[in-house]
Structure 1
Amino acid sequence: MAFGVNNITVLGNITRDPELRFTPSGTAVANFGLAVNRNVQNKNSGEWETQVDFFNVTAWYKLAENCAESLSKGDRVLVSGRLSQDSWESKDGQKRSTVKIIANVIAPSLEFASCRLEKNPRAEEGVSSGSVSGEGVSGGSVSGEGKSGKGGIEEADFSDEDIPF
């Protein structure tokens, strides 16, 4: 059996604040809307026109919590993930479906603003994973905290000046 490829990456603006909720088992899930502009040429006039595609985006686990804490309506973000189709039957018996993006990466666009990257320690592994919080047009920085990782390897403390990028 041949396998297909289901990857999508879009850059757009958040249309509604991420809504964070939890499943009965305690798993975090966040949903928000994303508007993606694209330019198409009008066949009659030859003029370029902007068209907008709207997507629903779902994030799970820590990514969901970070989205709800860090992102808001109007933020420009890059979303990478896969497409998923939900199907249901309406009250009047009509079959309905919608396609949404299940995100595995969500990152702010630094095209018009900067942000501050804060590392969140993973409780079980002693390893840091990134969380992004928007800071408008403030200076960006990356901070690291020394923690003992698995196998007795210690992570080094470093400052913003030590980072080559």
Structure 2
Amino acid sequence: MAGEPIITIVGNLTADPELRYVSSGTPVASFTVASTPRSLNRQTNQWEDGEAMFVRCSVWREYGENVAESLTKGMRVVVTGRLTVRSYEYNGQQRTSIEMQVDEVGPSLRYARAQVTKISGGSGGQNRGGGNYGGGQGGQSQQGAPSGGRASYDAPQGGSSYDPWQQAPQGGSSFDDLPPF
């Protein structure tokens, strides 16, 4: 929908993501990100923590299963998504909560290293509303031929016949690690 506020939060997971299945069998992973602002106290020249903000996040379908398998409590993450308002009744009182419907999530690499494993098969890489990564204009068609003259982001692991970097240029030159000067 147009006009929804999109935000990015950097923080730590307060617990392992919870994976559950709704009545239709669709998986959803839920997790909470704690983000604590830090500021420099110029009088003491020390960093001080501000008030922590806790944001509840939801990720649906195969994406949610990937999140539940990949992220764990305490991990520093970068989360981008749309804020949504949810009203509910608890102990006879009407309550409201602000939650995030996640578009993108991943580990923060500021203080860590990550090993990414691409999932083969299934629907990995199909457009899930966030960007164009394999279907549609400029992506790769179902038969494997690129549309729009671009190589696909979902190319097979060994490369594709449309990969411009797959072979050395014509004319007998070869590549090496030495600079040309």
Q: TM-score, with normalisation over the residues of structure 2?
A: 0.64
Corresponding residue SS for 1:151 = coil
For 2:35, the equivalent position in structure 1 comes to 36
Q: Which runs of 5+ in 1 are unaligned?
A: 130-147
Q: Percent identity?
A: 36
When residues 117 and 97 of structure 1 are mapped into structure 2, their CA distance, relative to the original with a 3 A threshold, is: same
For 2:78, the equivalent position in structure 1 comes to 78
> Comparing both chains, which one has the higher relative contact order based on Cα–Cα distances under 8 Å and sequence gaps of 6 or more?
1
When residues 151 and 17 of structure 1 are mapped into structure 2, their CA distance, relative to the original with a 3 A threshold, is: same
More helix by share: 1
Q: Which structure 1 residue ranges, 4+ long, deviate > 4 Å from structure 2?
A: 45-48
Letter in 2 for 1:157: G
Letter in 2 for 1:4: G
RMSD (Å) for aligned C-alpha atoms: 2.9
Report how far residue 82 of structure 1 moved: 0.5
User: Where do residues 49-128 of structure 1 align in structure 2 (5 Å cutoff)?
Assistant: 49-51=48-50, 52-91=52-91, 93-123=92-122, 128=125
- Higher mean C-alpha displacement, 115-124 vs 60-69: 115-124
Report how far residue 4 of structure 1 moved: 2.8
Letter in 2 for 1:110: L
More strand by share: 1
Q: TM-score, with normalisation over the residues of structure 1?
A: 0.70
Corresponding residue SS for 1:121 = coil
Report how far residue 41 of structure 1 moved: 7.0
Corresponding residue SS for 2:62 = helix
Report how far residue 155 of structure 1 moved: 3.6
- The 1-side partners of 2:24 and 2:72 are apart by 26
Q: Deviations over 1:27-60 (max 9, x none)?
A: 1101111110113577xx9975312111111111
Could you tell me whether the CA contact under 8 Å between 2:4 and 2:82 is conserved in 1? no
Letter in 2 for 1:78: V
Corresponding residue SS for 1:62 = helix
Q: Which runs of 5+ in 2 are unaligned?
A: 127-139, 146-154, 160-164, 166-181
Report how far residue 63 of structure 1 moved: 1.5
Q: Count residues in correspondence.
A: 136
Larger Rg: 2
When residues 152 and 90 of structure 1 are mapped into structure 2, their CA distance, relative to the original with a 3 A threshold, is: closer
